[in-house]
């Protein structure tokens, strides 16, 4: 019996955004592993398949368990939110396998990333070059994070800020705001998307000045939030956030022939 690990991205959380390939991987598994919240989101898929849920900061133990089960010949589906290759579980699986010198069949099934989901709800903020940066300093030194934020901001990238603010982890967001307000005009549009395509979804467009003055408190910026900071050309039209691709500079976009 040949086992293996399939790392599955379940998208932002809504069942309608789970790909057919991800559904198939979940349904053919002998056992499903994942963060308890993600397993709860897919409770209706393969309800009779054994599941092993674990909490935050237990990613390494989760991956080691998946490898153990796969080496026993089990078909393991390891669930990851969004896309497993973007701040997800895919890389950790390969890291642990390399450290152990182990060989296990691994398949990565992509999913709708949080930045895709947030962009769709906001309008079209990612139509030009953008950068994704996690503000979590659990695994990355804060000074490295702030340097990346500053360099991306000065290069005029649209910024997608993951893991912006926790209940007790507020300094990275506060300091990132200090960097951004130095590099961008205060009227720069900012999209805040919380719990995209899940119960309690919130979508707000504010200015960078408003965001930095608020520091994410009233606006409820938390770990379930993605913050999208526009570039120098991003504008708001009918409540939507749009970053032009550049067509207006080469083509006539008006009604005239």
Q: How far apart are CA 74 and CA 31, in angstroms?
A: 7
Q: What is the pTM of this model?
A: 0.92
Tell me: do 166 and 88 sit in the same domain.
no
CATH of the domain at 166: 3.30.950.10
Per-residue pLDDT tens digits for 89-134: 999 999 999 999 988 999 999 999 999 999 999 999 999 999 999 9
Report DSSP state, residue 181: H
Q: How far apart are CA 244 and CA 129, in angstroms?
A: 10
pLDDT, position 2: 74
Per-residue pLDDT tens digits for 150-184: 999 999 999 999 999 988 899 999 999 999 999 99
Residue 250 lies in a domain: no
Residue 232 lies in a domain: yes
Report DSSP state, residue 203: E
Tell me: do 123 and 33 sit in the same domain.
no
Percentage of the chain beyond pLDDT 70 is 99
Tell me: do 89 and 138 sit in the same domain.
no
Range of the domain at 207: 115-242
The number of domains in the chain is 2
Grade residue 246 by pLDDT with cuts at 50, 70 and 90: confident
pLDDT, position 221: 93
1: pLDDT strictly greater than 60: no
Residue 253 lies in a domain: no
Tell me: do 75 and 160 sit in the same domain.
no
pLDDT, position 130: 98
Residue 162 lies in a domain: yes
Residue 70 lies in a domain: yes
Instruction: Indicate the residue among 93, 112, 131 that finishes a domain.
Output: 112
Instruction: Indicate the residue among 66, 85, 112 that finishes a domain.
Output: 112
Tell me: do 45 and 125 sit in the same domain.
no
Q: How far apart are CA 193 and CA 82, in angstroms?
A: 14
Tell me: do 122 and 227 sit in the same domain.
yes
Of 114, 55, 107, give the one whose Cα is nearest residue 82: 114
């Amino acid at each position: 019996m040949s086992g293996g690990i399939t790392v599955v991205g379940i998208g932002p959380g809504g069942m309608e955004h789970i790909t057919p390939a991800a559904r198939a991987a979940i349904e053919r598994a002998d056992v499903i592993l994942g963060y308890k919240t993600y397993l709860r989101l897919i409770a209706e898929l393969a309800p009779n398949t054994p599941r092993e849920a674990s909490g935050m900061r237990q990613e390494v133990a989760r991956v080691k368990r998946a490898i153990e089960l796969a080496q026993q010949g089990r078909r393991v589906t390891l669930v990851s939110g969004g896309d497993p290759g973007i701040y997800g579980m895919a890389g950790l699986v390969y890291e642990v396998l390399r450290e152990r010198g182990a060989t296990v069949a691994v398949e990565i099934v992509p999913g709708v990333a949080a930045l895709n989901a947030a962009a769709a709800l906001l309008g079209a903020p990612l139509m030009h070059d953008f950068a994704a940066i996690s503000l979590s300093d659990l695994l990355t030194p804060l000074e490295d994070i702030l340097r990346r934020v500053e360099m991306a901001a000065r290069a005029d990238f649209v910024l997608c800020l993951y893991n912006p603010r926790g209940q007790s982890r507020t300094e990275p967001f506060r300091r990132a705001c200090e960097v951004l307000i130095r590099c961008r005009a205060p009227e720069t549009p900012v999209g805040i998307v919380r719990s995209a395509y899940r119960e309690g979804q919130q979508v707000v467009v504010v200015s960078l000045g408003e965001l930095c003055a608020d520091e994410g408190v009233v606006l409820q910026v938390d770990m379930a939030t993605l913050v999208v900071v526009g570039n120098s050309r991003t504008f708001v039209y009918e409540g939507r956030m749009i970053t032009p691709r550049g067509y207006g500079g080469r083509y006539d976009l008006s009604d005239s022939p």
